[in-house]
Structure 1
Amino acid sequence: MIRHLVLFKLNEGVGRDDPRAVEGAAAFRALGDQIPELRFWECDWNITDRPIAYDFAINSAVDDADALKRYLEHPAHQAAAVLWREFSTWVIADYPF
């Protein structure tokens, strides 16, 4: 299994109530039901308010590297990622477990 973690930081001047952020969060929440490769899926807004904190997180798991590739290339994932590129930056980590 591979754990896929993503942390998003909203760009300066973009709040969680920004319509783009609301749409982006909804798009990612929906992926758990749209992409069969996902064995585990959760995402939500961070509840802490610390200067080093990121704003939104995805915690997911897939079976293997091929499944991760299919997930990343899935049209629903690509559409959601395009939304987030407009108003955030992010970091990822993929590791076996």
Structure 2
Amino acid sequence: MIRHLVLFKLDEGVERDEPRVVAGVKAFQELADQIPELEFWECAWNITDRPIAYDFAVNSAVADTDALKRYIEHPAHQAAAGQWREFATWVIADYEF
């Protein structure tokens, strides 16, 4: 199994309740039902307020590197990530477990 972690940082001046951010969150929330490669999926806002903290997190798992590639290339994932490119930056980590 491969764990796929993504941490998002909203751009300066962007608020969680902006319509484009709300739409981006909704797009990620719906991915679990749209991408069969996802074995596990959760996403949520960070609940702590610390200078080093990111704002939003995705925690997911897929079976193997081929499934990860299919997930990343899936049109629904590409569309959701494209929304986030408008108002956030992110870091990822993929590891086997």
Q: TM-score range by the shorter chain?
A: over 0.9
Identity %: 79
Task: Give how far 1:18 is off.
Answer: 1.0
Aligned residue type for 2:61: A
- 2:66 aligned with 1:76, yes or no? no
Q: Deviations over 1:32-86 (max 9, x none)?
A: 1110000000001111111110000000000000000000000000000000000
Distance 2:31 2:92 in 1: 17
Task: Give how far 1:20 is off.
Answer: 1.0
- 2:5 maps to 5
Distance 2:48 2:21 in 1: 18
Distance 1:11 1:35 in 2: 28
- 2:51 aligned with 1:55, yes or no? no
Specify every segment of 5 or more residues in structure 2 that has no aligned partner in the other structure, as ranges.
none
Distance 1:56 1:64 in 2: 25
Distance 1:86 1:23 in 2: 12
**Between Structure 1 and Structure 2, how many residues are aligned?**
97
Specify every segment of 5 or more residues in structure 1 that has no aligned partner in the other structure, as ranges.
none
Structure 2 SS opposite 1:44: strand
Distance 1:14 1:69 in 2: 30
What is the CA RMSD across the aligned residues, in angstroms? 0.4
Aligned residue type for 2:77: H
Q: Deviations over 1:4-42 (max 9, x none)?
A: 000000000001001111000000000011100000000
Structure 1 residues 1-97: aligned runs within 5 Å: 1-97=1-97
Q: Which runs of 4+ in 1 moved over 6 A?
A: none
Structure 1 SS opposite 2:30: helix
